[in-house]
A and B are shown apart, each in its own frame.
Chain A
Amino acid sequence: MSDKNFIERYTFRERLAHWFVAFTFILLALSGLSVFHPVFNFLNNLFGGGTWARILHPFFGVVLAVSFVDLARRFWNANRIAPADREWMGQLKEMLANRPVKLVETGKYNIAQKYYFWTLTAAIAVLAVTGFVVWQPYFAPLFPIWLLQLAILLHSVAGFVAVLALIVHIYAAYWVRGSIPAMTRGTVTQAWARHHHPGWYREVNKGTK
């Protein structure tokens, strides 16, 4: 965008990759939750019934595994955790209460976002491997029953962690006003960048000056 109030945060490719993963993840979460607990059984109907949910879920999983690798490698380097990041964590309580906080030298991602990245990467890795092991009728018969039991247990825990992380991710994006346009339009305002990611703001402006 040529308007000097806006800074580009995500390119078109990055946004496309993100929304593709997001959409696939939602399909997986809904089909997975439908067998997770009876209170979610009704979600079956979104897929044409329980059998369809069971058939489609692992195929969605393959699509997610591939597209997530593509997405993750784009943001891998920017999410490395540095000791300086922990200072941000100390402010968390103040920030959540919507009280003024001291500006910390935050890069493109703060430590909470980095935690989210690594938690989700780990969860999706566990989900992909364990999901493959229990995939009926193609692959599950290859494995002994005790491994299927363990895989289903780990799959449900990792699924829970992933959905919980997603709830936090979506809420945080909404709660911090000005964040969502980063992923829908690709841009954020100067003020948003100066306040939330001053280190990144300085780096980006060095290039444009």
Chain B
Amino acid sequence: MALQSLDIVRRSSTTTPSPGVRETQKVAKLIDISKCIGCKACQVACMEWNDLRDEIGTNHGIYDNPIDLTDKSWTVMRFSEVEVEAGKLEWLIRKDGCMHCADPGCLKACPAPGAIVQYSNGIVDFHEENCIGCGYCITGCPFNIPRLSKKDSKAYKCTLCSDRVAVGQEPACVKTCPTGAIVFGSKDDMIHHAEERIVDLKSRGFQNAGLYDPPGVGGTHVMYVLQHADQPEIYHGLPKNPSISPMVSLWKGPFKSLMTLGLGLAGLAAFFHYFTVGPNESGEEDS
């Protein structure tokens, strides 16, 4: 979504620095799974604010609706019934959506200049006007979040309500959450708030309660308070130690630069060879 350009600190397919003199506070959204009741008000608020109406799907026998993220559903509740301890059923409900990584894999993978940007406050946003629909962002994301639209072949995901945050408002899902499971503020404040929540959870018997702020992607601007932080996978497949795939890092890192240099050098070598050694006219002599 449109924002003053001075706020952008990183831009896809751009080798020179983006404007970065302004250092705004880093924001974060904290989702306390122990407080979530799965009411989906956040899904509705996201639809309302962003004018999204997804296709009506079919019932899969579980509460997940829609069953997956789509180009028109930027956040979905994931319901998991798990016996964490034998005989003790827990209904774990996780709000899935873009984690707004500090080191975004989608941005790294994107070959279209300016299609994916990262603002100085940490929000990672898609500028769909520049998107070419190649789907590389999907390969770069450690959480499988971006979705290509069948309608316009552009990639969509949660924007962390960058347009609301730009004018000092909290994201729509934060505003609407009835239990206060979703809170928003500076990242430091959210970490502090999470620590208090974790103390509370531990006192109630959740010894492994903790904060999910994965270092493998540089930390994220969407964090979870998990009752069982030692087993993030039980929350509908939340990756335990997410990082950008080494294949993507290799392809977009050293390989890309070395190969481009290689092509340039080949051209230069041909040029200099011809103008030093001269043409091979041996086949033109009469033998």
Contacts and interface: CB of A to CB of B under 8 A. Distances in A.
Q: Do A and B come from one complex?
A: yes
Interface of A: 35-41, 49-51, 53-55, 95-98, 100-101, 134, 136-137, 140, 145-146, 148-150, 152-153, 156-157, 160, 163-164, 167-168, 171, 174-178, 188-189, 191-196
A35 B134 contact: yes
B139 A191 contact: no
A36 B281 CA distance: 37
Nearest to A168: B266
B135 to A, nearest CB: 4
B203 to A, nearest CB: 40
Interface string B240-269: 000001011011000111011011001100
Contacts of B150: 137
Given A137-B153, A153-B247, A175-B274, A95 B280 contact: yes
29 contacts: A39-B15, A95-B280, A100-B282, A101-B282, A134-B135, A137-B153, A145-B139, A148-B135, A148-B138, A148-B139, A149-B245, A149-B247, A150-B247, A152-B247, A152-B251, A157-B259, A164-B263, A167-B266, A167-B267, A171-B273, A171-B274, A175-B273, A176-B280, A177-B283, A188-B283, A191-B287, A195-B282, A195-B283, A195-B285
A41 B13 contact: yes
Contacts of A95: 280
A191 B284 CA distance: 6
B270 A145 contact: no
A136 B130 CA distance: 17
A152 B287 contact: no
A73 B74 CA distance: 50
Nearest to A197: B283
Contacts of B267: 167
Most buried by A among B112, B260, B283: B283
Contacts of A174: 274
A58 B251 CA distance: 20
Contact of B256 (A36, A177, A192): A36
Interface string B9-22: 00001110000000
A192 B132 contact: no
A55 B133 CA distance: 9
Contacts of B284: 177-178, 189, 191-192
B280 A98 contact: yes
Nearest to B154: A51
